[in-house]
Chain A
Amino acid sequence: MMVKAIDRDEVCRLLERGAQLVEVLPSKEYRDQHLPGAIHVPLDTLDREAPARLRRDRPIIVYCYDTQ
């Protein structure tokens, strides 16, 4: 698997390098509060939306609520 688990500090470093930040929670959770600049691509529409909205030449950071 090519996905790398990262912490908060690494998130900040990747964002400085132009990474795309993606929240995958449902709409209400995103609307209530999200990380600055995060794109909303909910998990249930990921297959349809990701190819159209996310760039393949830049890192992608996905996040949700927490570890659970």
Chain B
Amino acid sequence: MSPRAAARLESLGFTQLFDYVDGKMDWFANDLPAEGELPDAPYLGQIARRDVPTCRLGDGIGSVREQVHARGWDRCVVVDENGLALGLLESETLAEQADGDASAEAVMTPGPTTFRPNVPVAEIVHAMHENELDGVLVTTSGGKLVGYVSREDAQQAIRDSGRAEADGSREHGASRR
């Protein structure tokens, strides 16, 4: 839509034109400020762990496992050269793979479930519980990895937002006395 808008503005004689092609999803995915009427509930882009380990399709599972564990993680996202999320190496896979020569591509879970950064955390907590997901990948609509949200982090974010809301109510009540 923005390219069309830019083209229309150009035809109207405007000259200093710029198109922020990645749009507001890119902005919010990087936890930058927003204005608007959406409730102040957390959304995935705010809590996604951007330091989730990544590897490439051809990487050997043995070296991947070493690097993942050295960083304190137990899973890894398989990405291409453009950062597109292609698969997930689950903790069980990394633990079970005795053959260190297998490639990430051979043992990964392809096409993992992904969510957009602007999805409220509350919406996916139930889905994670129903589908017994330990966590989900957060990507842009183009499939580029933003980060990883574990079920624990999602639940904690909900608890924290509930406390923040309660504190806000108490403060508001106090100011009325």
Quick one: given A7-B22, A11-B20, A66-B140, are A35 and B1 in contact (CB under 8 Å)? Answer: no
- The distance from the CB of A46 to the nearest CB of chain B, in whole angstroms, is 5
Quick one: given A1-B10, A3-B10, are A67 and B141 in contact (CB under 8 Å)? Answer: yes
- Chain B residues positioned under 8 Å from A50 (CB to CB): 8-9, 12, 14
Contact A56–B15 (Cβ < 8 Å): yes
Interface size class on chain B is 35 or more
Contact B33–A36 (Cβ < 8 Å): yes
- Chain B residues positioned under 8 Å from A62 (CB to CB): 2, 5-6, 9, 17-20
Contacting A at CB under 8 A, from B1-40, are 1-10, 12-28, 30, 32-38
- Chain B residues positioned under 8 Å from A14 (CB to CB): 18
Contacting A at CB under 8 A, from B138-156, are 140-142
- Chain A residues positioned under 8 Å from B118 (CB to CB): 33
- Chain A residues positioned under 8 Å from B5 (CB to CB): 22, 24, 41, 43, 46, 62, 64
Tell me the bound Cα distance from A63 to B118 in angstroms: 16
- Chain B residues positioned under 8 Å from A41 (CB to CB): 5
Of the listed residues B10, B13, B15, B142, the one surrounded by the most CB atoms of chain A closer than 10 A to its CB is B15
| A46-68 interface code vs B (CB 8 A; 1 in, 0 out) | 11001100101011111111111
Which chain B residue lies CB-closest to A25? B1
Which chain B residue lies CB-closest to A51? B12
Contacting B at CB under 8 A, from A11-46, are 11, 14, 19, 22-25, 30-38, 41, 43, 46
Contact A3–B17 (Cβ < 8 Å): yes
Contact B16–A1 (Cβ < 8 Å): no
A-B contact list, 12 entries, CB within 8 Å: A3-B7, A6-B18, A31-B37, A32-B37, A33-B35, A35-B24, A35-B27, A50-B8, A60-B16, A63-B24, A66-B24, A66-B140
Tell me the bound Cα distance from A47 to B23 in angstroms: 21
Tell me the bound Cα distance from A65 to B2 in angstroms: 8
- Chain B residues positioned under 8 Å from A58 (CB to CB): 16
- The distance from the CB of A11 to the nearest CB of chain B, in whole angstroms, is 5
Contact A66–B38 (Cβ < 8 Å): no
